[in-house]
């Protein structure tokens, strides 16, 4: 039967001090203390004998160079298991823990096999234990299998288990409690299944000597099936056994032996592998040969980075700096989402005048004034547009001329008629604005088309809010021509939804309004 090395236990502080001083005796004592444990762990994780031997070899070589850097020398076991775990994950760990199916379960736990003082438990045969253990472990997640392996087989307490996995002590204790509850539920499920199979087999057997003997306690009430104390979150509890099965299990010796099995005992008494004898010589040769210094440095470099506490970092656990940045980024994202939700909730209920946010400084807006006609003359000087002298409803009388004034040959008889040689005045046209409503959803700019019909047009524009900026505030358009005015929305980091109005005024004083609406915008 494989046994742990019966070497004298050396304190971790003494081993770390010897590694720091380059003592070969301390390195040999380190291998004798942890060699079989690391090989059992690596083989359980990978399922390959050669890969497990390589991982143990590299772990000890790496420990000889970098283990003294850890802050707390009492965590030497955590350093070794963490270095081996990182290499197992890089190589690819198995979905189900591996153990030798051809070997028998031990009578004592894995870590106590150097001292065989405890009596052998009354358990089912090893073949039945293999089936029970394999079916139970297959129901657990790979992470929970590893936690149970380190806690129940290798005896790591929550503090050292957390240092191995890259977790805090509290999180490691929570994982152990969760894994223990799921392990107990899975084991009870398999035990109940085996009890039902045993009861069915007993009923199918012919009765010997007529009537079958009633087992002790046959008339007793059904024995309740043991349940875990904690309600599982991910797996439903095992269904209760029927009364016939419970009555059979209470009187069947095989079922009673099966009911004494616990999950922790299965992990602790599972078959242990035999440590290769040549592995110790290989490790000591690599660690002490001066010509292999470069090889040792390369092995340590492949071991990855160390945490601020000097322990190997795990590839499946973010570093403290990464967790800090993730926490900060998550807080900022949460605040931004809360702000956007508040904007969307408040936006539809905003009434009255459109919001002007952020508070930009308002720019002076042009006033609506009547522009002079294109020919440069004033509308008031035009006789046809002058107010009537006689008041409303009366036609204006022609101006009186002196009777002594003589008419020239080319002068018209009608004094109100312009001279024949003078050009007729140009009539102003009509301004056409398209469209009358602009929606800025998902964009911050849009175009408004201006056109002149039936004559030239001069126009001015103004906005009702400083958030709307126009590319041109005034201009002129020839008859039949068009012009484009670009509208730009000016916002701060987060823009609230709002509404504004653009007013275009032509030379005749006619106004044309364009409604502009916009939604939430960022930056």
Distances (CA, A) of 199 to 52, 389, 461: 42, 125, 95
pLDDT > 90 in the chain, percent:
37
- The structure tokens 């602009």 sit at 438
Residue 512: phi, psi to the nearest 5?
Answer: -135, 125
- Average pLDDT in the chain: 78
**Crossing angle of helices 12-21 and 76-91, rounded to 10°:** 70
pLDDT band at 220 (very low <50, low <70, confident <90, very high): very low
Residues near 16 by beta carbon (within 8 Å), at least 6 away in sequence: 67, 68, 70, 73, 76
pLDDT > 70 in the chain, percent:
70
pLDDT value of position 142 = 92
User: Which residue has better confidence, 511 or 328?
Assistant: 511
Query: In sequence order, what are the beta bridge partners of 504?
Result: 461, 512
Q: What six digits make up the tokens of 197?
A: 């199979």
Q: What are the tens digits of pLDDT across the range 405-437?
A: 444 444 444 555 555 555 555 677 888 888 889
Q: Is the pLDDT of residue 386 over 70?
A: no
The answer to whether the CB of 303 falls within 8 A of the CB of 31 is no
Q: State the SS3 of 278-325.
A: HHHHHHHHHHHCHHHHHHHHHHHHCCCCECCCCCECCCCCCCHHHHHH
Q: Is the pLDDT of residue 347 over 70?
A: no
Rounded to an integer, what is the distance from CA 66 to the centroid of its chain?
Answer: 33
Q: Is the pLDDT of residue 338 over 70?
A: yes
**Crossing angle of helices 76-91 and 49-66, rounded to 10°:** 140
User: Which residue has better confidence, 267 or 245?
Assistant: 267
Q: What are the tens digits of pLDDT across the range 490-506?
A: 877 777 888 899 999 98
pLDDT value of position 210 = 42
Q: What is the mean pLDDT of residues 388-416?
A: 48
Q: Is the pLDDT of residue 131 over 50?
A: yes
Q: What six digits make up the tokens of 443?
A: 């964009």
pLDDT band at 383 (very low <50, low <70, confident <90, very high): very low
Which runs of E-coded beta strand occur in 435-520?
437-440, 445-453, 457-463, 468-470, 474-477, 482-489, 494-495, 498-506, 511-518
Of the ranges 115-129, 177-191, 330-344, 367-381, the best mean pLDDT one: 177-191
Report the C-alpha gap between 284 and 24 in whole angstroms.
8
Q: Report the SS3 class of residue 245.
A: helix
Which runs of E-coded beta strand occur in 323-379?
none
Q: What is the mean pLDDT of residues 45-72?
A: 94
pLDDT value of position 118 = 53
Q: What are the tens digits of pLDDT across the range 434-446?
A: 888 998 887 888 9
CA-wise closest residue to 483 among 449, 440, 447: 449
The answer to whether the CB of 145 falls within 8 A of the CB of 137 is yes
All structural domains of the chain: 12-204+215-301 (no CATH), 430-522 (2.60.40.10)
Residue 328: phi, psi to the nearest 5?
Answer: -65, -45
Q: Is the pLDDT of residue 357 over 90?
A: no
Q: What six digits make up the tokens of 79?
A: 């350093």
């Amino acid at each position: 039967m494989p046994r742990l090395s019966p070497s004298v236990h050396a304190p971790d502080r003494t081993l770390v001090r010897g590694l720091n001083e380059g003592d070969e005796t301390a390195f040999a004592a380190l291998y004798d203390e942890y060699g079989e444990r690391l090989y059992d762990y690596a083989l359980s994780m990978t399922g390959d004998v050669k890969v497990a031997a390589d991982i143990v070899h590299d772990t000890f070589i790496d420990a000889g160079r970098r283990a003294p850097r850890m802050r707390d020398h009492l965590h030497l076991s955590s350093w070794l298991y963490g270095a081996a775990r990182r290499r197992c994950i890089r190589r690819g760990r198995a979905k189900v823990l591996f153990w030798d199916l051809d070997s028998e379960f031990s009578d004592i736990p894995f870590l106590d096999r150097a001292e065989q003082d405890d009596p052998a438990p009354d358990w089912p045969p090893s073949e039945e234990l293999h089936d029970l253990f394999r079916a139970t472990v297959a129901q657990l997640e790979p992470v929970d299998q590893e936690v149970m392996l380190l806690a129940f087989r290798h005896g790591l307490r929550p503090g050292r288990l957390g240092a191995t996995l890259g977790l805090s002590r509290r999180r490691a204790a929570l994982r152990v409690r969760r894994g223990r509850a799921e392990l107990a539920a899975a084991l009870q499920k398999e035990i109940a299944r085996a009890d039902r199979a045993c009861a069915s087999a007993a009923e199918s057997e012919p009765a010997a000597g007529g009537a079958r003997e009633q087992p002790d306690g046959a008339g007793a009430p059904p024995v309740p099936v043991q349940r875990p104390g904690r309600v599982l979150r991910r797996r439903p509890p095992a269904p209760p056994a029927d009364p016939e099965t419970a009555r059979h299990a209470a009187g069947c010796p095989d079922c009673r032996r099966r009911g004494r099995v616990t999950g922790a005992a299965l992990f602790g008494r599972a078959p242990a592998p035999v440590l290769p004898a040549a592995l110790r010589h290989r490790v000591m040769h690599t660690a002490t040969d001066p010509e292999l210094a470069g090889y040792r440095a390369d092995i340590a470099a492949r071991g990855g980075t160390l945490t601020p506490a000097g322990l190997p970092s795990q590839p499946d656990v973010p570093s403290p700096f990464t967790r800090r940045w993730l926490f900060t980024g998550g807080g900022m994202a949460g605040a931004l989402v809360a702000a956007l939700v508040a904007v969307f909730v408040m936006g539809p209920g905003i009434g009255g005048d459109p919001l002007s946010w952020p508070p930009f400084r308002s720019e002076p807006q042009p006033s609506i004034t009547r522009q002079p006609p294109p020919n440069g003359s004033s509308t008031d000087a035009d006789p046809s547009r002058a107010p009537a002298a006689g008041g409303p409803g009366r036609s204006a009388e022609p101006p009186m001329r002196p009777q002594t004034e003589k008419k020239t040959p080319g002068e018209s008889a009608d004094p109100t008629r312009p001279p024949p040689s003078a050009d007729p005045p140009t009539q102003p046209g009509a301004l056409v604005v398209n469209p009358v409503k602009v929606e800025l959803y998902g964009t911050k700019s849009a175009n408004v088309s201006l056109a002149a019909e039936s004559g030239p047009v001069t126009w001015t524009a103004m906005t009702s809010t400083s958030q709307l900026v126009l590319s041109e505030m005034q201009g002129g358009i020839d008859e039949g021509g068009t012009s484009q005015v670009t509208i730009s929305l000016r916002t701060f980091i987060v823009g609230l939804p709002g509404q504004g109005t653009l007013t275009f005024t032509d030379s005749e004083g006619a106004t044309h309004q364009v409604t502009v609406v916009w939604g939430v915008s960022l930056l």
